Every structure is written in structure tokens, then in C-alpha cells.
Amino acid sequence: MILRRLALGFGLFCGVVASQLPEFAQQYRQRLGGALDELTALVDQFASEAQSAGLDTKGAIARLEADGEQLARDRGRSMAQTVARQQRLAGQQKRMQEAGPFTRLIVLAETYDPRIARRAWGDYEPAVPTTGEGFAAAGAGALAGYGVLRLVGAPFRRRRRELAPA
């Protein structure tokens, strides 16, 4: 009896936590868009500077990385990382835009950027789930939490039945 109530309470707790996943994903997507805008501006500015020097972006990065000065080599490596991150985030944003309401959570889990996720989590404020996605996530979380505790408690229930007088 106590285990059943504990499982129900844990299931409800898991439901409330899971109901927040769509809201976190939405806040993450907003931050992703902002980060991508800034990275795109940096990459575009660098491409413009490279073009005025008669180079493309890859050529300019290669020239910087091969330069004799440490500062130029560091700038080349930094710019290569910036371009790669911008491309990775653009791909993630495209996948999220193409994904449906429920699959966006899967895309987030598969492709999240740790820096963006950390910042989104730092500013995250819980919200009442008012979308179908939020209600479904809450229900799935509640069932999963309830089920996990019922499974964990199953050996104890059997043992109690065996010990109970007939």
C-alpha cells in the first residue's frame, strides 16, 4: 500500500518534470537562433574580409593557420572552429524546424549544444504545459515514473506475499 502511494507520487513528480521538456526545448530553440545569428554575423564579416583580400573563407583560414605569427595561427584556428560551430548549429536549427512537436525533443537530445543548453538551463523558468506536446510529455513522464517504482518494488511485494499467513 505504501509502495503504491510512493509510486503514484513519484509518477506525478516525473509527470510534472517531463511536462517541462517542451518548454525547455522552446527556450533552447530561442537561444539557438540568437547564437546562430551572432555566429553568422561573425562568419559573414570574416568572409567579407577574406574576399577583399582575394581569398575565400577556407583560403583565408588556411593562410592564417600557416602564418609565422602565433596570434595569426590562433585566429585561424578560432575562425575554423567558429565556422564549424555555425554550420553545426544551422543544421540543428534546420532539423528542429522540420521536426514535428514531439520529435523536436528527440532532435534536442541528439544534437544539443552544451553551451546553449547550459545558458538556457540557467535562465529557465518553468511553465504550465498548455500544448498537446506538454500534456503528452507529462503523461509519459508520469507513467514512466510510476512504472519504474512499481518495477523496483515488485520483488518486495512477492516476498511479502510469500511471508503472509495463508
- Under 8 Å CB-to-CB from 105, ≥6 apart: which residues? 21, 22, 25, 133, 137
- Residue of 150 and 81 predicted with greater confidence: 81
pLDDT beyond 60 at 161: no
Q: pTM surpassing 0.85?
A: no
CA distance 143 to 8: 9
Give the per-residue pLDDT at 5.
Answer: 82
Q: What are 38-95's pLDDT values in tens digits? A: 999 999 999 999 999 999 999 999 999 999 999 999 999 999 999 999 999 999 999 9
Q: What are 79-131's pLDDT values in tens digits? A: 999 999 999 999 999 999 999 888 888 999 999 999 999 999 998 877 776 66
Q: Give burial (CB, 10 Å; 0-12/13-18/19+) of 162.
A: exposed
pLDDT beyond 90 at 23: no
